[in-house]
Amino acid sequence: MKDPRDVVLAPIVSEKSYELLEANVYTFRVHPTASKPEIKDAIETLFNVTVLKVNTMNRKGKRRRNRRSLSYGRKPDTKRALVTLAEGDEIELFDV
């Protein structure tokens, strides 16, 4: 089994993710090769909660123009996980 800290990289802090907290859904940036069962096990191990459902999305990195030259670069591709917790469970990391 992989180390849970290698699977779950960081929480996503945005207006949309805070809106989902009301429905007990938490958003995390995860390793691009992580599978849904690995993400579920990592969240349960790290935060001692019960995970009901995991949804993932792969996001393409945006293309960015370099100021000094006419070349273009790319932001890295990322993978996000939307984790639904059991009722009554919460992660203190996201307390407002």
Write down the domain spans for the chain. 4-87
What would the mean pLDDT of 24-32 be, rounded to a whole number?
A: 96
Helix H or strand E segment including 46: helix 36-47
pLDDT of 68: 86
Class of domain 4-87: alpha beta
Q: Report the pLDDT averaged over residues 86-92.
A: 91
pLDDT for 45 equals: 95
Residue 95, pLDDT > 70, answer no
**For range 4-24, the mean pLDDT:** 93
pLDDT surpasses 70 at 94: no
pTM of the model: 0.87
